[in-house]
Structure formats: structure tokens, C-alpha cells
Structure 1
Amino acid sequence: MNFEPPLLKPMLVLEDDPIHQLRIFNILESFGYEKNDILFSQTIEFAKNICVSKPVKFMMVDLNLPDGSGIDFIQNIRQKNESNIPIMVLSSWNTLEVIYNALNVGATGYVLKEKDDFELMFAIRTMLKGEAIIDPTIAKKILTKFGHLLHEKSQDYCKEHAEMSQRQIEILNCVANGMTSREIGDELNISKYTVGVHIKNIYQKLEVNSRTKAINAAKKMGII
């Protein structure tokens, strides 16, 4: 029984470095690709001409090319409704901005050139099976960045929904100083019942049920 995914042919390899071209050819040959199945291009312009004349089924694209960026090439391909063609970026660039741009215009895989042949073979096999692939190093960067963004958004959300009036902040500070409702009322020249209403509203905004929890939550959010 053959568990290997079917080969997508012909394949376009947009790569201007002869050494990397040879490496890619040897790896693809190990999958069963023959010389006539692989269309090499060193420039974006020639790659576009290939796409016009050949029914390309799979692409491997470098980003730093003599006549422009591989990202622009990918965007051009996608704009021509070639939405089903798997496009793997194989690049030395590992900055988040470049990665985001490549994925945003339609790359379905992103692998770093520094990876060994076994890892590159795994990535190609994954894409031949119709799945997306992101280099683990890149994925870790994205997840770390995404985690920071979520944390910042969560903090902003909390501050927005726990926004206090000036009077409530004054009462919170009094509570933090250990003052009773009567003492707070005397300090702020309001009744202890009004203080109680404010404290109840503060609890609701902070989603807590005690003075201690309210103080801790307010300090974490930078309210007091």
C-alpha cells in the first residue's frame, strides 16, 4: 500500500540561487518528480511567463529575487484566481512583518532555508497532502506575538469595562486605606448609604465580591 501523497505536476520553483535550485531538485527527485516535472525560474518575470504557458499545480517561491519580491509574485498569482495552487515560501527571511505579508497575500506555507533536508521534505509532503505548513520557529514567534497582543487587548478590555468615576476612585482609595463606610462618608461629605451604593457598583465593574478583591483588582488594572 502506498501512503505517499500524489505528486502535483508541473511544479514551479522560483529561486535564483543555483545551489538552492540543486538542493530543491534533489529533494523533489526523491519524491518521484522527474526533470520535466520541475520548472525553474530565477526571475519573477520568467515565472509569470511560465504560469501563462503551463498549468502549474504547486509552487515554491523565494522572496528575495533579482527583479522584485516573491510576495508581489504570490499576490499577482492569487489575483488571477489561482486560489487552489499550494504556494510554499522557502526563504531566509524570518521577520514577522515579512512572514505576515507573505501569508496575507496567499502563501499557504512558509519554511526557512536553514532547515535540513528532512524538515524540508516533511514540509513538502504536508503541502502535497493539501495542508498548510508553517516552520515551527516561525510558528513560535507568531504565537508569542499573538499572546502578547491578546494580553494587551485583555488589559485594555478590563480597563475599559472597569472605568471608574472620580468619586468611585476616591472611595476605592479610601477602602484601600482601611476606612469604613462611615469614615469614608465623613471624609467625602456623603452618607454611608451613598458610599455603600458606590461600593456595590465598584464590585460590579470589577466583577468581585469583597473589599480585598476590589483593591487587588483595581491595583492590577492601574486604577489605584
Structure 2
Amino acid sequence: MSQTTPEPTEAPGSADPAAPIRIVLVDDQELLRTGFRMVLNSQPDMAVVGEAGDGQVALDLLTRLQADVVLMDVRMPRLDGVAATREIVVRGERPRVLMLTTFDLDEYAFTALKAGASGFLLKDVPPPDLLAAIRAVHSGEAVVAPSTTRRLLDKFAPMLPSESEPAPPELTVLTDREHEVLLLVAQGMSNAEIAGKLFLSEATVKTHVGRILMKLGLRDRVQAVVLAYETGLVKARGR
């Protein structure tokens, strides 16, 4: 397994809206990194600015360059992807982490998302889906493999609390509408689906989601879902 790390290449600053999405590849398989690099660098709005063969090398690399999105393997030597993701999140708002793994297992998905990853995909994801996921994560959305999403929703199927139940103390900063939107986000609904259910415009829902994240000090929708479960806003079936 290769542990070599190419010299980082700086990309244009993120302040320029026309600048490409700066991506760091983190995987202990050099051949896989090569394949991803070829796909990503073929896109006019993406640029691979660095690579690492394990989580520790990735953390060191990220202190020397700016990145927008990290494609992170879960299982690696020295420091695994979950631990590296946790450290990246502690350091600041950027970069966003998109986890990639060969193993479609619920425990990996939940652990990675709880650590602060903004997405979780399988390594055999079709290139168009991978590119769409990177763009979504870069824009602040959350991405989870459809097969994983289905099982997670089956396993942690939310049940609406009764109207008489007070809001968890952590969520009292939210308005009634924001509380309602958060509940639907926690059920896995997209902005478009929430807009349809609440008879709002998609832009209005996006504004509500942004305010929810700001008020609760969250990075993205994934953290909002985790918080909703941890505070008891939604409950797993069978609890």
C-alpha cells in the first residue's frame, strides 16, 4: 500500500466563484486515487490539489494547502478516516468531508456522519453520481449512498412526537416553523419535498434550513439530523 504524498498544488482562491472546487484525495490505494484524480481533473469546475495515503498524512497536508472537499477512505493505516474527519471538523468549517468506502455497513455510515462527514458513498459509485455528490457537499448539502439511506431510515425510522411534548431545550432558539422544518429534515426529506409538504417555495425552505444551522451552530444537514436524534426530537422505532 502506497504512503507517498505528491506535493500539493495550490488552486485559485475560493473567493472567486469561478474557481474550481479544490479536492484532496485520501486513500491508501494509489491506483484508486489515480482513477479518481483522472475523473475529477477532467471537470472544469474541479481540481485535485493534493493526495494522502492515510489520515495522519492528510491532516498534515491540510495544514499546508487550502481545500474545499476531502474524499476520505474509512479504513486506512495509522489514522483511519473517521478519526481524521473528526479532527478536520474540530479545526474549522472547511473542508467538507465526503467519505468513500468499499463496505456498505450501517455502523460505518453512522460513525462517519456523527464524526462530522457531510456525505457517505461507496467506492463503486458511478462517476456522474460522485461528481454530483462533490458539488452537493461543496454547496453545503448532505449526501448518503441510497442503499445506506434506505437501511438507516428502516433502522432509525422517525416517529413524530406528540403535539403536547415540549421542544428539547437545545432547540428552543428555533421558531415554530424552523422546528417543523428541522423535523422534516431529520426524516430525510429534501428541500423540494419539504416545500411540497409545507406549501412553501424551495427558496424559503433553504432559508429556513440556513437559519436552523446558524442558530444551532451546525455545519450541514447531516449534523442537524444527528442532533434531532440526540435531543429526542425524533425517536428510533423500538426505543
Q: TM-score, normalised by structure 2?
A: 0.55
Match of 2:20? 7
Decide which structure has the larger Cα Rg and report it: 1
Per-residue CA deviation, residues 44-77 of structure 1 (Å, 9 max, x unaligned), is 2211111111122221100111213100000111
Q: Where does residue 211 of structure 1 map in the other structure?
A: none
Which secondary structure does the structure 2 equivalent of 1:38 belong to?
strand
Q: Which amino acid aligns with 2:98?
A: M
Displacement of 1:150? 4.3
Bigger helix fraction:
1
1:90 matched to 2:100? The reply is yes
Would you say the 8 A contact 1:7–1:128 is kept in 2? no
Query: Which secondary structure state, in structure 1, belongs to the residue aligned with residue 24 of structure 2?
Result: strand
User: Identity across aligned pairs (percent)?
Assistant: 20
Q: 1:131 is matched with which residue?
A: 141
Separation in structure 1 between the aligned mates of residue 90 and residue 138 of structure 2, nearest angstrom? 22
Code of the aligned partner of 1:87: V
- Sort the Cα spacing of 1:48 and 1:8 in 2 relative to 1 into closer, same or farther, 3 A: same
Say if 1:6 and 1:128, in contact at 8 Å, map to a contact too: no
Give the aligned residue type for 1:96.
Answer: D
**Is 1:112–2:122 an aligned residue pair?**
yes
Distance change in 2, residues 1:69/1:26 (3 Å): same
In the other structure, the counterpart of 2:43 is 31
Distance 2:73 2:106 in 1: 16
Match of residue 74, structure 1, among 77, 85, 103: 85
State the alpha-carbon separation in 1 of the partners of residues 104 and 66 from structure 2. Answer: 30
CA distance in 1, matches of 2:25, 2:86: 16
How far residue 130 of structure 1 moved from its aligned partner, in angstroms, is 2.8
- Please tell me whether the aligned partners of residues 70 and 96 of structure 2 are also in contact (alpha carbons under 8 angstroms): yes
Unmatched segments (≥5 aa) in structure 2: 1-16, 163-239
Gaps of 5+ in 1: 155-224
Aligned residues: 146
Rounded Cα–Cα distance in structure 2 between residues aligned with 1:49 and 1:76: 11
Change over 3 Å in CA distance of 1:133–1:23 after alignment to 2: same
Work out the CA distance in 2 between the residues paired with 1:99 and 1:5: 32
What is the rounded CA distance, in whole Å, between the counterparts of 1:70 and 1:145 in structure 2?
24
Task: Tell me the equivalent position of 2:54.
Answer: 43
Question: CA 1:94 to 1:5, structure 2 compared with 1: closer, same or farther past 3 Å?
Answer: farther
Q: Judging changes above 3 Å, is the alpha-carbon distance between structure 1 residues 29 and 95 closer, same or farther for their aligned structure 2 residues?
A: same
**Residue of 133, 137, 146 corresponding to 2:156:** 146
Please say which of residues 26-35 and 83-92 is displaced more in the overlay. Answer: 26-35
Partner of 2:67: 56
- For normalisation by structure 1, the TM-score amounts to 0.58
- Structure 1 runs (4+) greater than 3 angstroms displaced: none
Query: What secondary structure, in the 3-state scheme, does the structure 2 residue paired with 1:60 have?
Result: strand
The structural deviation recorded for 1:137 is 0.9
Local SS of the residue matching 1:31: coil
Task: Tell me how far apart the structure 2 counterparts of residues 115 and 20 of structure 1 sit (CA, whole Å).
Answer: 13
How well do the aligned residues superpose, as a CA RMSD in angstroms? 2.5
Determine if contact 1:61/1:88 at 8 Å carries over to the other structure. Answer: yes
